Amino acid sequence: MTRIEKSLWVSVVLLVGCVVVLACIILFRLTGTSEVGSKQQEGIDESTQGEESASGSSRVIAKLGNETITEGQLQEALASKYGILMLQDLLKSKAVAKEAEALGIEVTDGEVDQEQQRLMAGYEDETSYYQMMMNEMGYTREELRQDTYQTLLLEKLMAFYANISDADVKDYMRQHPELFESIEKLDISQIVVDTKEDAQDILAKLADKEDFGTLAEEYSIDSYSADQGGALGYIDRNDPFIDKNILTSASKLDVGRIDGPIRIQQGYAIILLNGRQEAKSMSKSESQFIARKQIALAKGQSMQDVEQDLLHKYGAEVVDTQYQMH
């Protein structure tokens, strides 16, 4: 995963994550209230339910001067804004699960582990990946694992519908060998300055044992990496978004070594190689799985179309007008 891809992906996931987390709060509260009420007395009339809901939602959770905001007001606002989307996601998950069960399609723990390892590529280590997911999205390890499971289950359904043969898989792997070979990854930090003289000054400070990250934050003109102490993270050896001269120099360095000044489009760079991940090929089973997924995506319906078809097949219906799509 390249630096740009990672940045874009985090932005998208952050937005989706916020929607999902907030919507979960709503639906948990609403369904929880409904279940308790039904267990106590199925024949409760609507007015009584409304009274119970109001009393349970009057807890003050925030203040602004003399004004207050209650839990009920927050739930109502969140339900109005995100409830429809979250309910649709829940219905889609249930429809996919029903179809997979009917067809005898399963996702194993090993397949989930394998996919998560692929998603972690480009991060320093497993801990860094999970920490970023928690910080940016509020997702726990178990929630991420469940999300990966749901995605793989849908992808397997798509592969089934596409009627992909073993011969199709072999042909695809032969035609696209680059997809099944990992590329060496380099963990690089950089300090970018305008002139060669500025770069020489930075090198002198580094020679005096000044901290690379601190210097990057203070002097680097590349705002993206400067905010991270110069860190670019793990990037592919042939990342098209990183200056070729930086990649060439970094590939020749030993871990922990510094090089510069390096002429780049922005000016001059000093780099530090923090780590290296050697290139390695995928296992046969992993390659076949990826190939089937790619063929299904190209050959069959989109994920969204499959989900909509399954909602129709299993008679999904939103009975509360507040949560109906318009």
Band (320; pLDDT cuts 50, 70, 90): confident
Is residue 56 in a domain?
yes
222-232 tens-digit pLDDT: 988 898 899 98
Name the residue range of residue 128's domain.
Answer: 3-162+300-323
What pLDDT is recorded for position 124? 67
* CATH code for the domain in which residue 234 is found: 3.10.50.40
Judged by phi (left if over 0) then psi (alpha if -120 to 50, else beta), residue 93 lies in alpha
28 or 62, higher pLDDT: 62
> Who's near 285: CB < 8 A, 6+ residues apart?
none
Same domain membership, residue 155 and residue 16? yes
Burial class (CB in 10 A: 0-12, 13-18, 19+), 108: exposed
Q: Of 38, 83, 19, 30, whose CA–CA distance to 56 is shortest?
A: 30
Instruction: Report the distance separating Cα 131 and Cα 124, nearest Å.
Output: 11
The residue count of the chain comes to 326
Same domain membership, residue 80 and residue 130? yes
Same domain membership, residue 8 and residue 156? yes
Same domain membership, residue 138 and residue 81? yes
Q: For residues 173-197, give the mean pLDDT.
A: 86
300-317 tens-digit pLDDT: 678 888 888 898 898 888
Same domain membership, residue 233 and residue 319? no
pTM, rounded to two decimals: 0.52
Number of domains in the chain: 2
Percent of the chain with pLDDT over 90: 25
Same domain membership, residue 204 and residue 74? no
Same domain membership, residue 311 and residue 209? no
Same domain membership, residue 146 and residue 228? no
Quick check: 42 pLDDT over 50?
Answer: no
Is residue 290 in a domain?
no
Question: Is residue 80 classed as helix, strand or coil in its secondary structure?
Answer: helix
Instruction: Report the distance separating Cα 245 and Cα 67, nearest Å.
Output: 59
Q: Which two tokens stand for residue 73?
A: 């007001």
Q: For residues 22-31, give the mean pLDDT.
A: 47
Percent of the chain with pLDDT over 70: 80
Q: Is the Cβ–Cβ distance between 301 and 155 less than 8 Å? A: no
Is residue 252 in a domain?
yes
Same domain membership, residue 34 and residue 117? yes
Same domain membership, residue 13 and residue 158? yes
Is residue 176 in a domain?
no
Same domain membership, residue 149 and residue 196? no
Question: Is residue 50 classed as helix, strand or coil in its secondary structure?
Answer: helix
Instruction: Report the distance separating Cα 216 and Cα 202, nearest Å.
Output: 9
Q: Is the Cβ–Cβ distance between 275 and 255 less than 8 Å? A: yes
Same domain membership, residue 315 and residue 259? no
Is residue 288 in a domain?
no
Q: Is the Cβ–Cβ distance between 79 and 320 less than 8 Å? A: no
What pLDDT is recorded for position 249? 93
125-167 tens-digit pLDDT: 788 788 878 877 777 888 889 988 998 999 888 888 888 888 9
Q: Is the Cβ–Cβ distance between 3 and 239 less than 8 Å? A: yes
Instruction: Report the distance separating Cα 90 and Cα 107, nearest Å.
Output: 19
Residue with tokens 């695809």: 172
